[in-house]
Amino acid sequence: MTDLAYLPGLAATGKRWRFPPALVGWLLPAALVAVWEAASRAGLVAPNHLPAPSAVALTLWRLALSGDLAAHLTATLVRVALGFLLGAAAGTLAGAATGAAPTLRRLVDPLIQGLRSVPSIAWIPLFILWLGIFEASKVALIAVGVFFPVYLNLMSGIAGVDRKLIEVGRAHRLGTLALVRRVLLPAALPAYIVGLRGGLGLGWMFVAAAELMGASEGLGFLLVDGQQTGRPATVMAAILLFAVLGKLSDLALARIGRTVTAWQDTEDAR
């Protein structure tokens, strides 16, 4: 019986063909786009409700030719980058401090957990009042979204370090800094990476809300402009760009995370 895993011409050499693992994640999106295009061409969905992928691609092409696409992408990327850096830095400091100090954690954590439940839209009027409608308020809103996952994961990661590991470090007469560097940091690093990825994902969601605050460019502005002018292809193009950029940035951060935690023997490292 012929093995279906072999390709014609490879059977004689004994080489087995395998579908590239890196492309597996693209199978479902490709299938959905194909079904979407077929349904649109067959008239099963109204073009003013769900334009075909080809119409969305044409809209992106026209935006690229006009130069508007580059301007919108640059504005959104800069806002997300600044908000992510500020939110991640604040979350790292707060998470490390509360994770390492139980008394501080009991004092501060309930307040932060309460603020974590505030919807992103609820922050907009306050930031406009404090910072105006320009870039500072937008970056601050994104930073708020990034802060909470980073804080929570790092705080939980440090607080959840096995006490036996700490006792072993103290038994070897490690000082405070050495204990943090050689025990606490490696043990909490995987949770911290997860927090950074979660924060980055929220940063992309919060930037859409941030760009409602008087923005004249950005993917969020493009999204609202398409809705207000009755251009569903523009709306879908903006949504698609959010998805693609969010996925690419998450892939980059995940790769960095695998690099810095390469010492771990996990199933994901296989």
The CA-based diameter of the chain, rounded to the nearest angstrom, is 73
CB 134 within 8 A of CB 75: no
CB 114 within 8 A of CB 152: no
In the chain the domains, ranked by start, together with CATH numbers, are 53-260 (1.10.3720.10)
**CA-to-CA distance for 93 and 149, rounded, in angstroms?**
13
CB 203 within 8 A of CB 80: yes
What residue has token string 């996990």? 266
N-term to C-term CA, the chain: 30
DSSP 201-240: HHHHHHHHHHTTTT-SSSHHHHHHHHHHTT-HHHHHHHHH
Q: How many other C-beta atoms can be found within 10 angstroms of the C-beta atom of residue 85?
A: 15
Mean pLDDT of the chain: 84
pTM across the whole model: 0.84
**CA-to-CA distance for 235 and 89, rounded, in angstroms?**
33
**CA-to-CA distance for 252 and 27, rounded, in angstroms?**
20
Per-residue pLDDT of the chain (270 residues; tens, 9 = 90+): 444 444 455 455 555 666 677 677 788 888 888 898 888 888 888 878 888 889 899 999 999 999 999 999 999 999 999 999 999 999 999 998 888 888 999 999 999 999 998 888 888 888 888 888 888 989 999 999 999 999 999 999 888 877 777 777 777 777 767 777 777 778 888 899 999 999 999 999 999 888 877 778 889 889 888 888 888 999 999 999 999 999 999 999 999 988 887 766 555 555
